[in-house]
Amino acid sequence: MEILHVSAECYPVAKAGGLGDVVGALPKYMNALGHSARVVMPMYRTKFLYANTWDVVHKGYTNMGNWWFEFTVIKEKTDNLGFELYLVDVNGLLDREKVYGYNDDTERFAAFQISVCDWLNSWSKLPDIIHVHDHHTGLIPFMVKHCPKYRKLAQTKTVLTIHNAQYQGIMGWNRSILIPQWDMWKWGMLDWNNAINPLASAVKCADKVTTVSPSYLQELKYMSNGLEALFEYEKGKCVGILNGIDDKVWDPQNDTYLQHHFSVDDLEAGKAKNKMLLCDQFNLDFDKPLIGFIGRLVGEKGADLLPQSISDSFYFLGRRMNFLVLGSGFPEVEAGLSALKPLSQFDYNIYIGYNEALSHMMYAGLDFLLMPSRVEPCGLNQMYSMRYGTVPMVRRTGGLKDTVIDYGDVDGYGICYNQASVADITHAVWRATQTYHNKEKLHTIRQRMMNLDFSWETSVKHYIDVYSSLVI
Ligand code: ADP
């Protein structure tokens, strides 16, 4: 089958979160099964762009409303990612360093989507599936079905994967000019609550919709930032497929970011060496359990609860543990976490920013990884941490519920709690501290986690089943 993934992120080209990891891995595993999966994404000005060589494969001239622009599609020459990678360049809009966060993001992603559809219009043999990811590419299912300009693409099946329904790309109707001409009576396929909602439109127009875990799909029906009724209505075409992890990139035996590699056979020694590096670098006490947090410092991740939870843990449980935080996000949360730093007694530190290398070192060197998420569509961190023998401390929600079993349950290995609250987190910290000192139990849990299989091989087959249901 021929599949074209259209995405705003793809690791290692450009990544801001889990979307990048998934789009960087999924096509590789699809190709390993004998399919032909490619990726097209915007040509940001990233390191990857300058470090690789490219062929120009298409040049086009098109319009977004009354603004006419040129776009260029380039292809990476060697396919060294395990799939064909195409980048779309629109000067003035996509030629930026960061993926998101600009005032004209709406125009940027609209221009990207128009360029992709125009480019597809020029293909002699169309792909079987156009697979779009999240709201940044959510207008494509509407455009291919309802814009006369793309009539040639109208029979091509479209699949939407929702990595995060909190963000929907909502824009006022005054922006409808950004979408290539369409029949006005189809406005309902773009609209949600009197605005153009690209994510809602994709749910309506795509032939199939997938979410990145089965539990998240159920949750969307009662908690999806205003789209609850839509998910209930469209449930017939929605499927929850758990993400996998790229076990070649995330492998404690070969991870290029690690100085000390290890496997399940020498996990205690391996983890100790990695922990020592972190403790040296961040002034932490090696003898105490090391609890970490990696991620965006936003409410969705429960990061606003961290400052109080860390203070309460020190106050109520004694200074018997270390905390290390890696992330960036809301300034208030960053400030709250930074304010704890001067109070550290060799047991707390924070790195504000994005640091891929440090994240790998933390998965390897931490004893526990805290994830008090309010919303977690799938969550990759807990799967990475388990592969590196680090015990996840997760709130039972979305993909966390689907991947972590509490160690108190049969064959369990994690620490689970129900509420995203300071009390539940502090209680989980207490359980972590108790577990840490029971070395035999901790070793059994670590072994159990490292033997779990979260690889893409299984998940990819579910995606292929979804495609097959549309194409055959
Ligand atoms: P998200 O909702 O942010 O997409 P996921 O759990 O799906 O959450 O994916 C998060 C990914 O981003 C993981 O690979 C994680 O290691 C990485 N990540 C998040 N924040 C940082 C950071 N500050 N530095 C390095 N990696 C980070």
pLDDT in tens, 197-229: 999 999 999 999 999 999 999 999 999 999 999
User: Which atom of ligand 1 lies closest to the CA of 376?
Assistant: 2
CA separation for the pair 9, 257 (Å, rounded): 21
Substitution site in 301, 337, 359 for ligand 1 pocket (most atoms within 8 Å of beta carbon): 359
CA torsion through residues 175, 180, 182, 186, sign: negative
Would the pLDDT of 472 be above 90?
no
Cα angle 377, 383, 389; round to 5: 155
- pLDDT, tens digit, for every residue of 21-65? 999 999 999 999 999 999 999 999 999 999 999 999 999 999 999
Say what the pLDDT of residue 304 is: 98
CA 385–ligand 1 middle distance (angstroms): 12
CA 297–ligand 1 middle distance (angstroms): 10
User: Which atom of ligand 1 lies closest to the CA of 381?
Assistant: 6
Which is nearest to 27 in space by CA: 40, 37, 12? 37
Cα angle 38, 113, 194; round to 5: 135
Please compute the mean of the pLDDT values over residues 403-422 and round it to a whole number.
97
CA 17–ligand 1 middle distance (angstroms): 4
Closest residue CA from atom 27 of ligand 1: 295
Say what the pLDDT of residue 237 is: 98
- pLDDT, tens digit, for every residue of 249-289? 899 999 999 999 999 999 999 999 999 999 999 999 999 99
Angle between helix 306-317 and 331-338 (nearest 10): 20
Substitution site in 11, 380, 454 for ligand 1 pocket (most atoms within 8 Å of beta carbon): 380
CA 379–ligand 1 middle distance (angstroms): 9
Contact 172, 98 (CB under 8 A): no
CA 24–ligand 1 middle distance (angstroms): 14
Q: Which residues pair with 349 in a beta bridge?
A: 324
CA 244–ligand 1 middle distance (angstroms): 15
Say what the pLDDT of residue 17 is: 87
Amino acid at 195: A
Say what the pLDDT of residue 198 is: 98
Substitution site in 381, 387, 404 for ligand 1 pocket (most atoms within 8 Å of beta carbon): 381
CA 378–ligand 1 middle distance (angstroms): 12
CA 353–ligand 1 middle distance (angstroms): 11
The gap from C-alpha 328 to its chain's centroid, in whole angstroms, comes to 15
Q: Give the binding-site residues of ligand 1, using a 6 Å CB cut-off.
A: 17-19, 21, 164, 294-296, 326-328, 354-356, 359, 378-381
- pLDDT, tens digit, for every residue of 126-161? 999 999 999 999 999 999 999 999 999 999 999 999
Substitution site in 296, 351, 363, 404 for ligand 1 pocket (most atoms within 8 Å of beta carbon): 296
- pLDDT, tens digit, for every residue of 322-340? 999 999 999 999 999 999 9
Phi, psi of 470 (to 5 degrees): -95, -35
Please compute the mean of the pLDDT values over residues 178-185 and round it to a whole number.
95
User: Which atom of ligand 1 lies closest to the CA of 16?
Assistant: 12
